[in-house]
C-alpha cells in the first residue's frame, strides 16, 4: 500500500515560495498547482479508504442477553386503605323511665343475660300502697255500678245517677291502670341477649331518667363505619368484598361484603359513609377496637397491565422496551406508554401496548433503541 505524502509536498512548496521574492503571477501559479495536488491527493485518499473498508471486516455489534415476558390482559382491581372503630350492632346504656331510689340490682358486671331478664328495680312501696287502696275503692264502685246498671236496665232510677256512677267507675279504672303502668316502670329488663358491661350506680342511690345505669352489649354482631373520598362514589359498590384487619389481633382477617354505602356527601370532609357488618361468633373482636379496611375502588375487565418496576421515565414520558423482529433479528424497541391506575406492583396501560407483546423484564438498563438482543427460549 502506497504512503500519502500530501503534508510533505505542501511544506516543500511553502518553504520554496517563502525563500525567494516572487511576483503575483508566480504566486497565483503556485496556488493553482497546489490546489490541483490537493484534489489529486484527496481522490487518492478516498480510494485508499474504500480499499481498506473492503479488506477490513466490519466490527459486529454486541448482542445483549435479556430476560423477557409477555404483556398480559387480565382483570385488574385497585384498593384503598381506610380505618374505623368497631361498634356493636346491639349495645345500650339502660336508664329508668321514671326517677326513684334503686331497690335492687340482681345482676353483676360480666354476667350474661337474656332478653327480658330483670336488671334493676326501684322502690315502689308508695305506689303499691296507693294501688292497694285504690283497688279496694274500685271494688266498691264497681259493685255500685253493676247494681245501678241492673236497675237502669229495668227502668228504675234516674239517668243522672247511672251516668255519675258509670263515670266514677271508668275514672277509677283508668287511674288504676296508670298506677299499674307506673309500677311496672320501677322494674328494668334486658332489651336483648347480651352481657353486662358496666353498672354505674349502687343500691340506695337515686336514679333518674336519661342517666345510664347499666350497660348491656351483645358481641355476636359488630360493625365498622368508615369514610371514603367522593372521588370513588361511582366505583365503590355495595356488596363488594371488603377485607378487614385488626392491628391488635394479628392474623385475624375478615373478608365480608359491604353492608351499606352512603348516598350523601359530607360537605366538610367531601366523603361518604361505608359500613361493614362483622360476624363475631368467637367474640374475639371487641367494640372500640381499631379496624383497617381494604376497599376495592377500581375493577377493570381485560386490562393491559405491565409490572410497575419495568416502566422507565425520560423527558418524553413513560416507556418500556419490547422485542422487535423476534423471529429473525430481534432488537430492542422503545415504546412510550400512557399509563392508568396502579396498585404498586402492576400498572394499567391505557395506550401504547395492546397485549401479547414481548417485553424486556431484565436487562433493560443495558439496551437502547435497536440493540440486538437474545434470550433463553
At 44, the pLDDT band (50, 70, 90 cuts) reads confident
Dihedral sign, Cα of residue 217, residue 223, residue 229, residue 233? negative
Dist. CA 294–CA 105, nearest whole Å = 44
Give the pLDDT confidence score for residue 6 in this predicted structure: 42
Q: Where does the pLDDT of residue 229 fall: very low under 50, low under 70, confident under 90, or very high at 90 and above?
A: very high
Q: Tens digits of per-residue pLDDT, 237-288?
A: 999 999 999 999 998 999 999 999 999 999 999 999 999 999 888 889 999 9
What is d(CA 20, CA 40) in angstroms, rounded to the nearest whole number?
27
How sure is the predictor about 105, in pLDDT bands with cuts at 50, 70 and 90? very high
pLDDT of 257: 94
Distance, in Å, from the CA atom of 134 to the CA atom of 136, rounded to the nearest integer, reads 5
Strand partners, 194: 113
Q: What is the DSSP letter of 285?
A: S
CATH number of 64-76+302-374: 2.40.420.20
> pLDDT, tens digit, for every residue of 312-358?
998 889 999 999 887 888 899 999 999 988 888 899 999 999 989 99
The residue ranges of every structural domain in the chain are 6-55, 64-76+302-374, 94-207, 213-299
Is pLDDT of 13 > 50? no
Are 94 and 188 contacting, i.e. CB atoms less than 8 angstroms apart? Answer: yes
> Is the domain covering 213-299 a CATH 2.40.30.170 domain?
yes
DSSP string, 104-147: E----TT-EE-TT-EEEEE--HHHHHHHHHHHHHHHHHHHHHHH
- What DSSP designation does 372 have? B
The pTM for the full model equals 0.58
For the chain, the average pLDDT equals 84
For residues 231 and 228, give the distance between their C-alpha atoms in angstroms, rounded to a whole number.
Answer: 8
Question: Quick check: 292 pLDDT over 90?
Answer: yes
> Given the DSSP bridges, would you call strands 290-307 and 331-342 parallel, antiparallel or unpaired?
unpaired
Q: Is the pLDDT of residue 8 over 60?
A: no
Q: What is the mean pLDDT of residues 214-236?
A: 92
Q: What 8-state DSSP symbol labels residue 284? A: -
Helix or strand or coil: residue 159? helix
Cell for 21? 521574492
Mean pLDDT across the stretch 132-150? Answer: 73
Going by pLDDT thresholds of 50, 70 and 90, the confidence category of residue 9 is very low
Query: What class has domain 94-207?
Result: mainly beta
Find, among 167, 169, 212, the residue nearest to 188 by Cα: 212
- Pairing assessment for the beta strands 312-314 and 118-122 based on DSSP bridges: unpaired
Q: Return the pLDDT at 359.
A: 93
Amino acid at each position: 500500500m502506497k504512503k500519502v505524502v500530501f503534508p510533505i509536498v505542501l511544506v516543500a512548496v511553502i518553504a520554496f515560495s517563502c525563500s525567494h521574492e516572487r511576483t503575483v503571477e508566480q504566486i497565483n501559479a503556485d496556488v493553482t498547482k497546489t490546489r490541483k495536488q490537493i484534489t489529486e491527493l484527496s481522490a487518492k485518499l478516498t480510494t485508499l479508504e474504500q480499499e481498506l473498508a473492503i479488506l477490513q471486516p466490519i466490527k459486529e455489534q454486541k448482542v445483549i442477553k435479556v430476560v423477557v415476558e409477555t404483556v398480559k390482559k387480565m382483570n385488574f382491581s385497585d384498593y384503598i386503605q381506610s380505618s374505623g372503630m368497631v361498634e356493636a350492632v346491639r349495645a345500650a346504656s339502660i336508664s329508668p323511665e321514671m326517677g326513684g331510689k334503686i331497690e335492687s340490682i340482681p345482676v353483676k358486671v360480666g354476667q350474661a343475660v337474656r332478653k327480658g331478664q330483670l336488671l334493676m328495680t326501684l322502690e315502689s312501696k308508695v305506689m303499691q300502697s296507693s294501688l292497694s287502696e285504690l283497688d279496694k275503692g274500685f271494688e266498691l264502685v264497681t259493685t255500685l255500678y253493676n247494681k245501678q246498671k241492673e236497675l237502669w236496665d229495668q227502668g228504675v232510677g234516674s239517668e243522672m245517677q247511672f251516668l255519675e256512677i258509670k263515670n266514677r267507675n271508668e275514672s277509677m279504672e283508668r287511674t288504676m291502670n296508670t298506677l299499674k303502668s307506673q309500677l311496672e316502670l320501677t322494674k328494668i329488663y334486658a332489651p336483648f341477649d347480651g352481657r353486662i358491661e358496666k353498672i354505674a350506680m349502687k343500691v340506695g342511690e337515686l336514679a333518674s331518667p336519661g342517666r345510664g345505669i347499666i350497660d348491656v352489649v351483645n358481641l355476636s354482631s359488630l360493625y365498622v363505619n368508615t369514610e371514603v373520598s367522593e372521588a370513588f362514589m361511582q366505583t365503590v359498590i355495595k356488596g363488594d368484598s371488603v377485607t378487614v384487619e385488626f392491628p391488635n389481633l394479628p392474623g385475624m382477617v375478615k373478608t365480608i361484603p359491604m353492608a351499606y354505602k352512603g348516598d350523601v356527601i359530607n360537605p366538610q370532609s367531601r366523603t361518604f359513609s361505608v359500613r361493614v357488618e362483622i360476624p363475631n361468633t368467637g367474640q374475639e373482636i371487641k367494640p372500640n377496637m381499631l379496624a383497617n379496611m381494604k376497599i376495592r375502588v377500581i375493577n377493570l375487565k381485560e386490562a393491559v397491565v405491565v409490572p410497575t418496576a419495568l416502566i422507565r421515565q425520560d423527558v418524553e414520558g413513560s416507556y418500556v422496551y419490547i422485542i422487535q423482529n423476534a423471529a429473525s433479528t430481534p432488537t430492542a424497541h422503545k415504546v412510550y406508554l400512557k399509563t392508568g391506575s396502579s396498585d404498586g406492583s402492576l400498572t394499567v396501560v391505557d395506550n401504547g401496548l395492546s397485549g401479547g407483546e414481548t417485553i424486556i423484564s431484565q436487562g433493560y438498563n443495558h439496551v437502547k433503541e435497536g440493540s440486538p438482543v437474545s434470550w433463553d427460549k
